[in-house]
């Protein structure tokens, strides 16, 4: 199944994508694509629905983040051998784990806002895991039983905040709109081998990143198992699993995002994202508005 959330920011409805690519409204079956709705029993129940019996969503709807109410938004750093090489970093002996603020999550086609004063906003196409069952101290051999599915994440990153301001990477990873997720949550049964998926990212139509999940250092089972030894993972949590080569920081000279840029990215079987890049001044964060750039 391809599950989606559609509608205005903060008021998304659950849906599924039918064989024609149309969105069907799942509101009568499930409250949201979030939390317990992502458990194995719930997904099994949804998979038995004939999409033709569900109402079509109105056309032209905004697509929200494909998972709502994300609690933990965890990321793995330097998890592609070829990307580690481009940054000059050694291959990590254990997964590098950092947090992205859940409040940075937005829809796959929402604007990416360059933070106020930022000079080094960068892109990263990644495969993200969506957790379906509560996971604590799980072994790698059973870890995939705790996974609901996958989606694309653009792990948008501010390199000065991440690397030059002291402290941890978290500073450069959770700014508002730095976590587009979707367009779909693709259940794991639809992807025969998640470790053989092509992935790419363009800026203004020029290919920047080309890679494959084949070159991951730690595989998805290892990642879920590893993270579950440091925190309890809950249904609806998201782990984004690292990026292949071709980020702006790795170019000579480095190339960072500027207002007016358009980012297109995709992973085999998981769809495509497109974001317009805007300056903070053009698109100030409306913190008075619940849901603006938050769990959207
Ligand atoms: Zn990343």
Structural domain contains residue 42: no
Rounded to the nearest angstrom, the distance between the alpha carbon of 127 and the centre of ligand 1 is 10
Summarised one tens digit per residue, pLDDT across range 159-199 is 999 999 999 999 999 999 999 999 999 999 999 999 999 99
Summarised one tens digit per residue, pLDDT across range 25-55 is 999 999 999 999 999 999 999 999 999 999 9
Structural domain contains residue 242: yes
Give the angle subtended at the CA of 288 by the CAs of 286 and 293, to the nearest 5°. 50
Confidence of residue 97 (pLDDT cuts 50, 70, 90): very high
Q: Which two tokens stand for residue 112?
A: 């990416």
Structural domain contains residue 173: yes
Whether residue 293 has pLDDT greater than 50: no
Rounded to the nearest angstrom, the distance between the alpha carbon of 40 and the centre of ligand 1 is 28
Rounded to the nearest angstrom, the distance between the alpha carbon of 196 and the centre of ligand 1 is 18
Ion ligand 1: protein residues whose beta carbon lies under 5 Å: 124, 155, 243
Predicted TM-score of the model (pTM): 0.96
Confidence of residue 118 (pLDDT cuts 50, 70, 90): very high
Structural domain contains residue 34: no
Rounded to the nearest angstrom, the distance between the alpha carbon of 45 and the centre of ligand 1 is 33
Rounded to the nearest angstrom, the distance between the alpha carbon of 282 and the centre of ligand 1 is 26
Tell how strand 13-17 and strand 2-6 pair up: antiparallel
Structural domain contains residue 197: yes
Structural domain contains residue 55: no
Angstrom distance (rounded) from CA 231 to CA 227: 6
Structural domain contains residue 99: yes
Identify the domain containing residue 141 by its residue range.
Answer: 65-282
Structural domain contains residue 250: yes
The residue behind tokens 């995709």 is 266
Percent of the chain whose predicted confidence (pLDDT) is above 90: 90
**Domain holding 108: CATH number?**
3.90.850.10
Rounded to the nearest angstrom, the distance between the alpha carbon of 125 and the centre of ligand 1 is 8
Instruction: Give how many domains the chain has, as a whole number.
Output: 1
Rounded to the nearest angstrom, the distance between the alpha carbon of 19 and the centre of ligand 1 is 32
Tell how strand 271-279 and strand 112-114 pair up: parallel
Rounded to the nearest angstrom, the distance between the alpha carbon of 126 and the centre of ligand 1 is 7
In degrees and rounded to multiples of 5, residue 213 shows phi and psi of -65, -10
Rounded to the nearest angstrom, the distance between the alpha carbon of 178 and the centre of ligand 1 is 11
Rounded to the nearest angstrom, the distance between the alpha carbon of 86 and the centre of ligand 1 is 14
């Amino acid at each position: 199944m391809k599950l989606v959330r559609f509608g205005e920011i903060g008021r998304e409805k659950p849906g599924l994508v039918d064989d024609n690519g149309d969105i069907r409204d799942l509101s009568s079956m499930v409250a949201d694509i979030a939390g317990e709705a992502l458990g194995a029993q719930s997904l099994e129940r949804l998979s038995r629905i004939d999409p033709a019996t569900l109402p079509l969503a109105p056309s032209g709807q905004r697509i929200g983040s494909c998972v709502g109410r994300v609690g933990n938004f965890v990321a793995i750093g330097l998890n592609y051998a070829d990307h580690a090489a481009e940054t000059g970093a050694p291959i990590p002996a254990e997964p590098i784990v950092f947090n992205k603020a859940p409040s940075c999550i937005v829809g796959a086609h929402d604007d990416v806002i360059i933070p106020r004063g930022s000079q080094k906003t960068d892109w990263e196409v990644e495969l993200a895991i969506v957790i379906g069952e509560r996971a604590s101290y799980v072994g790698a051999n059973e870890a995939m039983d705790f996974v609901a599915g996958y989606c694309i994440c653009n792990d948008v990153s501010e390199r000065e905040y991440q690397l030059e301001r002291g402290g941890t990477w978290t500073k450069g990873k959770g700014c508002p709109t730095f976590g587009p997720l979707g367009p779909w949550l693709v259940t794991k049964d639809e992807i025969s081998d998640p470790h053989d998926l092509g992935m790419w990212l363009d800026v203004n139509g020029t290919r920047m990143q080309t890679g494959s999940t084949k070159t991951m250092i730690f595989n998805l089972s290892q990642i879920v198992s590893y993270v579950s030894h440091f925190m309890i993972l809950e249904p609806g949590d998201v782990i984004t699993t690292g990026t292949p080569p071709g980020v702006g920081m790795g170019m000579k000279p480095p190339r960072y995002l500027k207002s007016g840029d358009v980012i297109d990215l995709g992973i085999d079987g998981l769809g495509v994202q497109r974001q317009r890049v805007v300056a903070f001044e053009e698109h100030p964060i409306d913190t008075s508005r619940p849901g603006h750039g938050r769990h959207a």
